[in-house]
Chain A
Amino acid sequence: MSQLQTSEARNPGLTLKSVKNLGNFKVLIAYALAVLIFIAGQIISPGFGEFSNIMNVLNISALLGFIALAQMLVVLSGGEGIDLSVGAMASFGAVMSSQIIGGLDGNLPLAILIVLAVGFLIGCVSGIGISYFKVPPLVMTLAMASVIQGGALVYTNGQPKGMASPLLKELGTGRTAGIPNLVFLWIVVAVIVAVFLTRTKWGKLLYGLGTNRLTTELSGVRTRVVRTVVYGASGAISAISGMMLLSYTGTAFLDIGATYMLPTIIAVVIGGIALTGGLGSYNGTVAGAILLTSLSSILITLNISEGGRQIVYGIILLLLLIAYGRQKTT
């Protein structure tokens, strides 16, 4: 109580606006850093800062951005929420899509339906384990990641068949007016997510659940059901993101999504989503995805190997967590 009063005395003018600005500040920094990277890249390796390369980077950013959306929803829902199975789920989504589509546009609708449904159901299993059987999210989703990986192996007999259809390929690699089609799709998704989070009942429930589970429960919300659905949604989004990965690469391989797991967490944190849940927006995650992809891109330009990049990712995540702290706890 007294602590609260003193903090009030210290921050008499701190309103929602300035809190929001704080979030926006992180987003601005992320964009500024991305711009800096392109400028530095242009100096080191002429051509890096050109429009077409920037579009390349955005194209890849979109892939990360889709999977990071799945991660963001889970982190936002609080309760130490984290989904370590997004990478495996994306891989599974990719190989499923590849086999169902088999290069034919006509199979697309069916593939989308099946991939979404399977992703949702598998995600719900994680959600049930976490909200009804009280398995910590970290452990639950790690275990599920292993199950999904194994499942993909069984499903494909170790060798994914099929490939993307022409239409899907056009979506993943084609450009309209010089801008990658995936980027257009990403913009549409971002707008939908923004509306969902700020203008719908479920968006508000997600923020409430992430901030304070007990208050949400006492307001008459079945928080365990909501949490289960959130993990289900994460699964569905990860799986359909796998189809987007396929659209970019044309053919799927078994660990196509594996390298995205850690970057999704970093992108979410860069974007100002509190790992304790309940605060942040997709806008920030988008910025995080762009920053991280441009960083990765310049590291490749500098001939730094995959191992080196992983080291950089890990260090960035740690630095971010130290810098932003685990700000609030309820």
Chain B
Amino acid sequence: MQLLEAKSLRKSYGGVMALRDGNLICKQGKVCGLLGANGSGKSTFSKMISGVVKPDGGEIWFDGERLNVANPQEAKKQGIIMVHQHLSLVPELTIWENMTLGSEPESAMGFMKDQQSREIAQTYLSKFSPELSIDEKVKDLSLAQKQFVEIAKAISQKPKLLILDEPTAPLEQSEVEKLFAVMRELKANHTSIIFISHRLWEIKTICDYVVVFRNGETVGAIDFETEAKDENLIVSMISGKEHRHAKDNASASSAIQSEKMLEVRELMLRKSKDRVSFDIKKGEVVGLGGLQGQGQEELLLVLSGLIQPKQGQISLGGKKLKLRHPKHAVREGMVLVPGDRHKEGLFLQHDVLLNLIFPQFATKKTGFFLNMKKLKAEANEVIGQVNIVPNDPGKVVQYLSGGNQQKVVVGKWLPLSPKVLLLSDPAKGVDIGAKKELYDTVRKLAEQGTSVLLYASDHEELMDICDRVFILFEDQIVDELMPSDYSEQRFVAASLRSAKAAGN
């Protein structure tokens, strides 16, 4: 029996199609696995069902009726509850207060019945962590415990349909098993569940069927009750099976022979126990791949000196570095093109000139008084090198296109002749022409001996430009791909299979 059917859901954000054609059927008392790469539209899709996002088109039928909810509260009334990836608990409140927040039992007079709230909280929390006290404040909990509280809160409201968006991300193996036990119990009570995860073994363990999204469309479904749990089939459905060996030879060979530039040893990112170690040669372009949020950006921020690692060693050209501030990295010639150019890379309200000359102030290149003529000439040279359009140093950066803004962010480092260029998703929100110019600049720098460490959320960018690619998973390098391995399918498989390996 089907509980929910979504037909041809559509959504675009300012001209960008987030979801073209989303379709899904939820069967009563079954677990539906929702699969797809980052940006495939599965998040947008599940937000529509839970009332967070309003569809541009298409229809949702729930429990035999056309569903038309404007916000999550209405969806909740209908019996649809989503547990989001980014948790929404109030840190200063206790577990039980959080669990009953927004649905507090009230007496006839409108006073809250705390005792009743506590009992409800205790009942549902003990399904996950009987040892945990409901009087604990949420801010004192681990990420996994918070995740449990969030799910317990959702379940306490007895949903007909429960949507879990990557609930297992912060969980360890034994905790995942606990979650699965609860999910099976819910199934037995005829609750339907939509389960989003990147870990294939979890999908195979708990799901009754899967629906796969790619490029904003539903591309297929596999019913595990009648069909085989074929991992290769799933991977190829997610990746679209496009084989690509797009890397041209011109860019591949230049760096191989030269000496080590950057050495990273046993670097501990964030709080996980896992360490990262790798070498990058002079003039080499190395990519960071994998699913989003696996520590790629943290690694770049650590190398740029903005955040301090718990442990580990970084050496540049044989010299051991102590990076306690971006100043130290900049002075050594290790510079960052950050992921959010507006917040981290530019002075939007100022002209191209100030933006381009600014990094020199942190080094000893300039004295107290500035030779503006010389600086302006340098800026003009950079404008020509990276081809900023229009080529006017007096133009206020705010009024440049995204691509040209990004060229400013890259260009401002050129006068320092960086030894290592760190790039965090530099082509985000940049048009194709500017993207090509941007990567041409990066390639040219590499040929002149700059080592490049590039994180890009788009696999094709990595394949086009990198001499090799590390696949990261949970703050660890789990795979290394060489140009001969490059294909969309290899990337997806490496990202996902590693997910499987780490989950076991």
Contact = CB atoms under 8 A, between A and B. Distances in A.
B326 interface: yes
Given A15-B392, A218-B304, A201 B347 contact: no
Contacts of B1: none
A279 interface: yes
Nearest to B375: A204
Interface in B352-410: 354, 357-359, 361-363, 366-370, 372, 392, 394-396, 398-402
Interface in B399-455: 399-402, 412, 429
Given A200-B369, A201-B368, A215-B346, A16 B394 contact: yes
Contact of A204 (B343, B370, B402): B370
A202 to B, nearest CB: 7
Interface stretch (B55-63, B330-338, B458-466): B330-338
A218 B392 contact: no
Contacts of B400: 8
B263 interface: no
Given A2-B14, A19-B396, A208-B354, A220 B359 contact: yes
A220 B348 CA distance: 18
Contact of B343 (A1, A14, A207, A330): A330
B15 to A, nearest CB: 7
B15 A2 contact: yes
Most buried by B among A15, A200, A215, A220: A220
A217 B399 contact: no
A220 B326 contact: yes
B112 to A, nearest CB: 34
A219 interface: yes
Contacts of B345: 215, 218
Contacts of A216: 358
B326 A219 contact: yes
Given A4-B398, A5-B402, A16-B394, A218 B326 contact: yes
Contacts of B366: 201
B329 interface: yes
A8 B399 contact: yes
B350 interface: yes
B327 A220 contact: yes
B365 to A, nearest CB: 10
A14 B304 contact: no
A211 B345 CA distance: 11
A249 interface: no
B358 A218 contact: no
Contacts of B372: 198-199
B240 to A, nearest CB: 26
A54 to B, nearest CB: 36
A21 B433 CA distance: 33
B349 interface: yes
B344 interface: yes
Contacts of A204: 354, 357-358, 361, 370
A209 to B, nearest CB: 10
A328 B325 contact: no
A207 B331 contact: no
A202 B361 CA distance: 8
A76 to B, nearest CB: 12
A1 B402 contact: yes
Contact of A279 (B338, B349, B362): B349
Interface in A1-53: 1-2, 4-5, 7-8, 11, 14-17, 19
B396 A4 contact: no
Given A199-B370, A199-B372, A217-B306, A16 B348 contact: no
A218 B349 contact: no
Contacts of A198: 372
A220 B330 contact: yes
| A contact face: mostly helix, strand, loop, or mixed | helix
A16 B346 CA distance: 15
B363 A330 contact: no
A328 B349 contact: yes
Nearest to B357: A204
A216 B349 CA distance: 14
B479 interface: no
Contact of A14 (B336, B348, B399, B429): B399
Contact of A8 (B338, B350, B354, B401): B401
Contact of A211 (B347, B362, B402): B347
A296 interface: no
A263 interface: no
Nearest to A274: B349
B338 A218 contact: yes
Contacts of B304: 218
A219 B362 contact: yes
B402 A4 contact: yes
Nearest to B393: A16
Contact of B331 (A208, A220, A328): A220
Nearest to B394: A16
B358 A208 contact: yes
A2 B372 CA distance: 34
Contacts of A208: 347, 350, 354, 358, 361
A205 interface: yes
Given A218-B336, A278-B347, A15 B394 contact: yes
B370 A217 contact: no
Given A200-B368, A207-B347, A212-B347, A220 B399 contact: no
B439 to A, nearest CB: 19
Given A1-B402, A204-B370, A211 B349 contact: yes
A191 interface: no
A212 to B, nearest CB: 5
A147 interface: no
Contacts of A205: 361
A326 interface: no
B346 to A, nearest CB: 6
A214 interface: yes
B175 interface: no
Most buried by A among B327, B344, B349, B392: B349
B349 A278 contact: yes
B422 to A, nearest CB: 11
Contacts of B412: 219
B359 A16 contact: no
A221 interface: yes
A207 B366 CA distance: 17
A328 to B, nearest CB: 6
Nearest to B390: A15
Contact of A218 (B306, B394, B395): B306
Contacts of B349: 19, 211, 278-279, 328, 330
A8 B395 CA distance: 12
B401 A5 contact: yes
B351 interface: yes
Give the 10 A-B CB pairs with smallest separation, nearest first: A220-B362, A220-B330, A2-B14, A220-B327, A16-B394, A211-B347, A16-B351, A1-B429, A219-B359, A201-B361
Given A16-B396, A219-B361, 20 more contacts: A2-B14, A5-B402, A15-B394, A16-B351, A17-B394, A200-B368, A200-B370, A201-B366, A201-B370, A204-B361, A207-B347, A207-B354, A211-B349, A214-B344, A215-B358, A218-B326, A218-B344, A220-B362, A278-B350, A328-B348
7 contacts: A15-B392, A198-B372, A204-B354, A212-B348, A214-B344, A220-B331, A278-B350
